[in-house]
A = this chain, B = another copy of it.
Amino acid sequence: MARPPEPAAPRGAAPAGPAALAGEAVAGYLHEHAADFLRSLKLHGESGADTAAADRAARALRRSARRIGGTLHTFRPLLDPDWADGLRTELDWLSTTLAQEHACTSRLTLLLDALARLSGTAPVPHQTTGATATASTTVAGPLPAGAARAGALLERQLTLARTRAHSAALGALGSARFHALADAVTLLSSDLPLRPLAASRADDILLPVAADAERRLLEGAAALPLGRAGHPYNADALVPLLAEPGPASGEEAQDAPWHRVRRLLRLHRYALEVLEPLRPGGTPPALTRAGLLLDRHRDAAEAAGAAAVAARTPRIAPATAYALGILHADQRHEVEAARFAFQEVWPGSLAVRTRTP
């Protein structure tokens, strides 16, 4: 009975109304997601050998952890700051740890699909930029040798990483650190450490605080090279693809501001969810779409990185390395495509600004 991963913003059941106190609105949202957290934890414990159920429960746990952590971050002015920061650190640790296994699975799927597409053995998917033409005709059949070997190498490496991530997630869920975190989430419902400010009218406090989160998002997006991203085929995402790998490689440096905006967008979305009882309307579709495009940007960037790592495996065949080079460049173009699509949808997202003063 796990919830779907990203349903519309919760509404209706929240205890806060237009005339409510600020603390009540935040507490209502936190209570709701604390309850979800504990329910998911229980489902995870009961899932046993049902890996699909365990996976759903882990996703729901992450979903609640992200929302509680994001709310502690955005609405920190209403909360005991030391308590909020401490709990948020633990929630970040949990959701990061739990995310790895799923990330490995979806990265492998993305890369194997791309290999099939590049080999002409799978149809070209419809593009998110709105292509209406039919996909190219394709020949079903086995992958060519280089692509098949590249796929097998990626499968080995990412399956190993996934197994490790699975063990790490199980270890985390059984750890004393996690039990302390679960206790803190349980206490959150009965014992939320609010500051005096939280006793003000919700409208007077929550709207400005949420507007701050929105402002940080708008500033982050304004700092992105959107003008450049609006010129298709600018090849920015491919530079410097062939540079020596390093801790501060060109790819990571150029991707970082986009990843940052992805996180800011999520925080803004959660803040809108907290405001929902005061300002009903759900998440603006343009914001959802922008968020999905930044997810796609992140996924393609990480898939490209996995192809680059695989290409540095010692003693691989040249045909394998060649296929990985094509795959790496392809995924970097997906990164560029996501940036292009984001800048196309972004001005539409700005309309959300009118929802907060």
Tell me the A residues contacting B by CB distance below 8 Å: 115, 117-121, 124, 127, 129-133, 136, 138-139, 143-147, 225, 227-228, 231-236, 238-244, 250, 254, 311, 315-330, 333-334, 336-337, 340
Contact = CB atoms under 8 A, between A and B. Distances in A.
Nearest to A250: B120
A231 B232 CA distance: 9
Contacts of A131: 228, 231, 234
Contact of A322 (B127, B236, B325): B325
Nearest to A339: B233
Contacts of A328: 322, 325-326, 329
Contacts of A327: 325
Contacts of A136: 236, 239, 254
Nearest to A226: B133
B317 A325 contact: no
A233 B333 contact: yes
A132 to B, nearest CB: 7
Given A231-B130, A329-B330, A119 B240 contact: yes
A144 B242 CA distance: 7
A240 to B, nearest CB: 3
Given A120-B250, A323-B325, 17 more contacts: A119-B240, A119-B243, A120-B239, A129-B231, A129-B233, A131-B231, A133-B228, A139-B240, A139-B243, A146-B242, A233-B333, A233-B337, A242-B326, A317-B318, A324-B325, A328-B329, A329-B329
Chain B CB within 10 Å, residue with most, of A120, A232, A333:
A232
Nearest to A254: B136
Chain B CB within 10 Å, residue with most, of A115, A315, A322:
A322
A127 B340 contact: no
Q: Please give me the 5 A-B residue pairs with the lowest Cβ-Cβ distance, nearest first.
A: A325-B325, A120-B240, A232-B232, A233-B337, A329-B329
A327 B238 CA distance: 10
B235 A124 contact: yes
B333 A118 contact: no
A144 B238 contact: no
B234 A120 contact: no
B132 A227 contact: yes
A175 to B, nearest CB: 40
B320 A117 contact: no
A250 B317 CA distance: 24
A324 B322 CA distance: 6
Contacts of A315: 318
